[in-house]
């Protein structure tokens, strides 16, 4: 191993010696060069987040009023203080847990209904012709506009909030699955047919995997809209949930908790879309770069 390292080092020396930091070993230097762009992006990202916090801190400690009023806006330190208090508060954790459960149920239902419906609509013209007009009429209605109707439809608040979350994520999932189906290369279908594949196999081995990238686009967008819809529903009709927590903080003049709620929503949203991206990479290894 040392011999091999020495050889590669001596071979690459004429080209890279001037740029490689001399204190690094050859592998470390190579790792640095290969990841230079990513390291730079991370460093700049950290700096810009720090700058954001600093500006926020300055604006709030000096209570700047310049068109926008920072008089009552909590400072980052105040938010941090309420965060350390909240993580020991079982009620706060319950808010988060309930929101996550609503997302999980609503989003999963949307995926379980939306993806197969999209696949079937993409494959069978009659189903498409029958379902598509209804979907097109309902699609532009924002999930928030469904709140009063949802409260009438469902016996409990919990169910109506899950329903709103479902609606929010359902249409992006359906539309993107349909789009994926419409882009399946017909030559691949032919290739499968002349290898002896029947309808069912073609569906499983060609149409479904070919649509997966768009299905995952739909799931990612759907997850985003699910959070938007959930928070709105919780603010209007909830008794628990992170959206309700944020609104309640405003009513109770707990200004630091408002920011805490917002940040929690942001982190949860980010985490759930990362989960979907990770699942996508697991399911579609051929798209790994």
Count residues binding another protein (CB under 8 A).
Answer: 21
C-beta of 1 vs 195, nearer to another protein: 195
Distance CA 81, CA 132 (A): 51
C-beta of 2 vs 285, nearer to another protein: 285
Give the shortest CB-185-to-another protein separation in angstroms: 8
Give the shortest CB-169-to-another protein separation in angstroms: 25
Give the shortest CB-240-to-another protein separation in angstroms: 42
Binder to another protein among 96, 178, 206, 256 (CB under 8 A)? 206
**Which contacts qualify for 77-81: CB closer than 8 Å, 24 or more apart?**
78/255, 78/256, 79/256, 79/259, 79/260, 79/263, 81/256
Q: Any contact of residue 280 with another protein (CB under 8 A)?
A: no
Give the shortest CB-209-to-another protein separation in angstroms: 4
- Under a CB-based contact definition with an 8 Å cutoff, are residues 242 and 234 in contact? yes
Distance CA 161, CA 275 (A): 22
Binding mask 185-204 for another protein (x = CB under 8 A): x-xx-xxxxxxxxx--x---
Q: Please report, for the chain, how many H helices and E strands are present, in that order.
A: 13, 2
First to last CA, the chain: 29
Residue 136, Ramachandran bin (φ over 0: left; ψ between -120 and 50: alpha; else beta)? alpha
Give the shortest CB-277-to-another protein separation in angstroms: 18
Beta strands in 20-172 (DSSP E): 65-66, 68-69
Binder to another protein among 212, 215, 221, 226 (CB under 8 A)? 212
C-beta of 202 vs 236, nearer to another protein: 202
Q: Please report, as ranges, the residues that interact with another protein according to CB under 8 A.
A: 185, 187-188, 190-198, 201, 205-206, 209-210, 212, 284-286
């Amino acid at each position: 191993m040392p011999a091999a390292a020495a050889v590669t080092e001596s071979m690459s020396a004429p080209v890279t010696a001037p740029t490689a930091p001399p204190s690094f070993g050859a592998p470390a230097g190579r790792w640095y060069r290969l990841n230079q762009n990513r390291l730079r992006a991370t460093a700049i990202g950290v700096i810009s987040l720090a700058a954001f916090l600093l500006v926020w801190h300055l604006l709030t400690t000096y209570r700047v009023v310049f068109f926008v009023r920072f008089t009552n806006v909590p400072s980052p330190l105040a938010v941090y203080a309420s965060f350390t208090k909240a993580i020991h508060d079982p009620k706060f954790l319950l808010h988060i847990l309930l929101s996550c459960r609503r997302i999980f149920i609503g989003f999963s239902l949307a995926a379980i209904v939306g993806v197969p419906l999209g696949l079937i609509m993409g494959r069978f013209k009659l189903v498409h012709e029958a379902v598509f007009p209804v979907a097109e009429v309902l699609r532009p209605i924002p999930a928030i506009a469904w709140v009063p109707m949802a409260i009438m439809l469902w016996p409990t608040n919990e169910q109506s909030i899950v329903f709103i979350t479902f609606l929010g994520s359902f249409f992006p999932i359906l539309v993107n699955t349909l789009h994926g189906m419409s882009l399946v290369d017909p030559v691949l279908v032919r290739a499968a047919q002349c290898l002896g594949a029947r309808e069912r196999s073609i569906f499983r081995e060609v149409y479904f995997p070919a649509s997966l990238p768009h299905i995952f686009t739909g799931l990612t967008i759907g997850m985003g809209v699910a959070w938007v819809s959930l928070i709105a529903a919780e603010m209007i009709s909830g008794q628990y949930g992170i959206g309700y927590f944020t609104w309640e903080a405003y009513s109770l003049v707990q200004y630091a908790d408002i920011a805490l709620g917002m940040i929690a929503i942001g982190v949860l949203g980010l985490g759930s879309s990362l989960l979907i991206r990770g699942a996508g990479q697991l399911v579609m290894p051929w798209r790994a770069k």
